[in-house]
Structure 1
Amino acid sequence: MILSNRLHRRHALATAAALAAAWVLPTAQAQTAWPSRPLKIIVGFPGGSSPDLMARALAEPLSQALGQPVVVDNRPGAGGNIAAGLVARATDDHTIGLMINGNMTIAKILNPATTYDPLTDLAPVSLLAVSPLVLTVPASATATGAGFFDAARAAGDRWNYGTPGVGTVAHLGMELLKSRAGMAPVHVPYQGNPQVIAAMLGGQIQMALLPPGLALAQVRGGTLRAIGVTSRGRSSVAPELPSLAELGVRDMQLEIWNAVAAPNSLPKAHVNRLATLLTEIVRRPEVRQTILNQGWQVAGTSPEGLAQRVRADTAAMADVITRNHIRP
């Protein structure tokens, strides 16, 4: 009889434990399931811009992988910094941002009034794609290749270069190139790259760093000439062009890039999951080709890989900003 009672109690306890486990497990899963509602990608540029096109290329496959809708929310202004500030301050665990280099590196250094600090308020997720700039000159330029830099050094400040504005990557990149190549052209800012191209065609400026999507159309049309690209080596975006390093410009590496960042408050597990999914998505052949057609070379990195790039680019560009006293 005693044995029977003991067996009965053990059975009752086992049944209770099983029922408790059956209740706790779904509850815990419900608490940890993420995302539990639509994920928002904030883009700091208007529809049709490079960051917008990239976000939209990723939204559908990311939605399929996550099992939740992924919504692209355009919030243009201040070179993407308004949107980056919204991402930095988001507390819903369902907001991320697709950003350009400046938003994640030098925003606060270039303008201390920026409402967020990219190094402390943003969590790097993944570097999606990179692209060099193209050092471009008028088609009438007689000096090309390495000889271009000899001519530029000889011209001193009699030559000008154009950019779409103070503090843009084209401006900072050219100041970096000037220090690496020992030349001294004078900066002339314009409203945008179309005006830069017009000024080159009109002979007002002698050079500019342009995105491949703009530069290569002009070069292939015979209206401009390309000297080389600013990446460390040749780029799949324009494999026919030499890197500036090949032409003798030492320690010259400059790329524009698109990356995904999250609020620093997003749990690390979610950041890692996003990074893994995004890396897999951008490396799919069809997505890779779409991104290449947009003028970008696929990267796809871990959060630490992007963090390392952020630190390196911040240090290089901060030096340019400080040394040249650049303010927007």
Structure 2
Amino acid sequence: MTRPALRRTVLALALAAVATASLAQPKSARVQPAPAAAPWPTKMVRIIVGFPPGSTPDLVARTIAEPLSKALGQTVIVENKVGAGGNIAADIVAKSTDNHTIGVMINGNMTIAKLLNPHVPFDPLKDLAPISLIGTAPLLLTAPANAPGKDAQEFFLAARNAGNKWSYGTPGVGTVAHIGMELLKTKTNIDPVHVPYPGNPQVITAMMGGQIQLALLPPALAAQQIRAGKLKAIGVTSANRSPLVPEYPSLQEGGIRGFQLEIWTAAAAPASMPKPIVARLSTLISDIARTPDVRAKLFQQGWQTVGSSSEGLANRIKSDTALLGGVIQMRGIKAE
């Protein structure tokens, strides 16, 4: 047999052996092609917000909606479902099954809602999937312009001497401002009485009118009145001075140790949304939040941009639930 003929014979036998071995394998053992990923999104995406147009969460949602629409190649709209401190909107998101609905929420909606009120119809830790922590901000302890003391130490001394003759305002029972002030009371041995108002604008009006003596307010709201000489800044609740209002010291700088508190806004999805979609939204929204244009807009709205991963937001939810939940239990706070 010639060499070419021999090579052809060996090759034929090898191919035959491979074919026989393949046919001998059970069907379950044969490699099947991976199914193609389903396209998404296939329709308009909704961002649900639990506060009215023009509110801080609403502005955040509208800031990310347009670039998110461009990134997805699909319309993204913002819908306001107002009520129950944002929990009505959070419940809509939690119960959504269309895989095209997400929410922009605040701390309370994603952490302590169920702890404050067992009748809330969703459990934030079970029914919501974290997408991204968008922005954070400290609160600013604020007092009337004629409040006593030239610094935090002297102010708190006056507050301790006043006992329950002083009062503090918040935008409602169970808000971070309410829980934060109750925590501050334990750290400073002051005892002002809680007076809830419909919102922070009413808190500011009451303070300027002398009806209340202190409040924890978003810096973006309080700073304008402070700079105009109508209110007085005692200190911010971040560990250090905040870039949002760098002219004001932190409470820790003023000698109040172990007190740190922030408000935040974040994106969340229903827990039922497929994980690949949540992961894609997390990447897109965190990237969008960190772009220079969006970062600048968020800063103007009173937020320090974070743009975290879903895991980063999950960790923040866990730590804040422990902190705020501990205060709720210790002080016996219940939502009305």
Q: Distance in 2 between matches of 1:98 and 1:191?
A: 21
Q: Distance in 1 between matches of 2:315 and 2:101?
A: 23
Residue 74 (structure 1) aligns with: 80
Offset of residue 228 of structure 1: 0.9
Secondary structure of 2:46 counterpart: strand
The aligned residue for residue 314 of structure 2 is 307
**2 CA distance for matches of 1:259 and 1:241?**
26
Alignment-mate amino acid for residue 148 of structure 2? T
Residue matched to 2:6? none
Structure 1 gaps of 5+ residues are 14-23
Aligned to 2:114: 108
- Offset at residue 273 of structure 1 (A): 1.4
- Quote the residue 1:175 is aligned against: 182
Q: How does 1:280-295 map to 2 (within 5 A)?
A: 280-295=287-302
Whole-Å Cα distance in 2 between the matches of residues 181 and 307 of structure 1? 31
Instruction: Render the CA deviation track for 1:14-43: whole Å, top value 9, x for unaligned.
Output: xxxxxxxxxx98x944x5222222211111
Offset at residue 54 of structure 1 (A): 0.8
Specify which of 135, 146, 169 is matched with residue 141 of structure 2. 135
C-alpha distance in structure 2 between counterparts of 1:312 and 1:217, whole Å: 32
In structure 2, the partner of 1:35 is: 41
Equivalenced residues, count: 309
* Percent identity of paired positions between Structure 1 and Structure 2: 59
Indicate whether 1:121 and 2:124 are aligned. no
Query: What does residue 61 of structure 2 align with?
Result: 55
Consecutive unaligned residues of structure 2, counting only runs of 5 or more, are 1-8, 20-31
Deviation per CA, 1:43-74: give whole Å up to 9, x if none: 11111111111111101111111121111111
Aligned counterpart in structure 2 of residue 222 of structure 1, from 221, 224, 229: 229
Q: What's the CA shift for 1:235?
A: 1.5
Cα deviation digits, residues 100-141 of structure 1 (max 9, x gap): 111000101101110000000001110000111110011111
Aligned to 2:243: 236
- State the alpha-carbon separation in 2 of the partners of residues 282 and 112 from structure 1: 33
Counterpart amino acid of residue 135 in structure 2:
A
SS at match of 2:48: strand
The one-letter code sitting in structure 1 at the alignment partner of 2:59 is: L
Q: Output the CA distance in 2 between the equivalents of 1:167 and 1:220.
A: 29
Q: 1:147 aligns to what SS in structure 2?
A: helix
Is the contact between residue 168 and residue 212 of structure 2 (CA under 8 Å) also seen in structure 1? Answer: yes
Secondary structure at the residue paired with 1:108?
helix
2:51·2:82 contact (CA, 8 Å) conserved in 1? yes
Distance 2:127 2:191 in 1: 37
1:84 paired with 2:100, answer: no
Q: Distance in 2 between matches of 1:51 and 1:195?
A: 19
- Partner residue of 1:316? 323
The equivalent of 1:21 in structure 2 is none
Asked if the contact 2:252/2:259 (under 8 Å) is kept, the reply is yes
Partner of 1:184: 191
Q: How far apart are 1:190 and its partner, in Å?
A: 2.2
How much has 1:213 moved relative to structure 2? 2.0
**Contact residue 132 and residue 285 of structure 2 kept, 8 A:** yes
- Give, in whole Å, the separation in 1 of the partners of 2:261 and 2:48: 25
Opposite residue 150 of structure 1, the aligned amino acid is L
Give, as a single letter, the amino acid of the residue that structure 1 aligns with 2:101: T
Q: Secondary structure at the match of 1:131?
A: strand
Q: Give the aligned residue type for 2:144.
A: P
Q: What SS does structure 2 have at the residue aligned with 1:183?
A: coil
**Partner residue, 1:252:** 259
> Secondary structure of the equivalent of 1:180?
helix
Distance 1:235 1:267 in 2: 37
Q: Per the alignment, in what secondary structure is the counterpart of residue 251 of structure 1?
A: coil
> Which one of 254, 257, 277 corresponds to residue 270 of structure 1?
277
Distance 1:54 1:162 in 2: 25
Which residue of structure 1 aligns with residue 100 of structure 2? Answer: 94
Answering whether residue 306 of structure 2 is matched by residue 296 of structure 1, we say no
Does the aligned pair in 1 maintain the 2:148–2:154 contact within 8 Å? no
CA–CA distance in 2 between the matches of 1:321 and 1:294? 29
Deviation of 1:251 after TM superposition, in Å, equals 1.8
Give the drift of 1:150: 2.2
What RMSD in Å do the two structures reach over aligned CA positions? 2.0
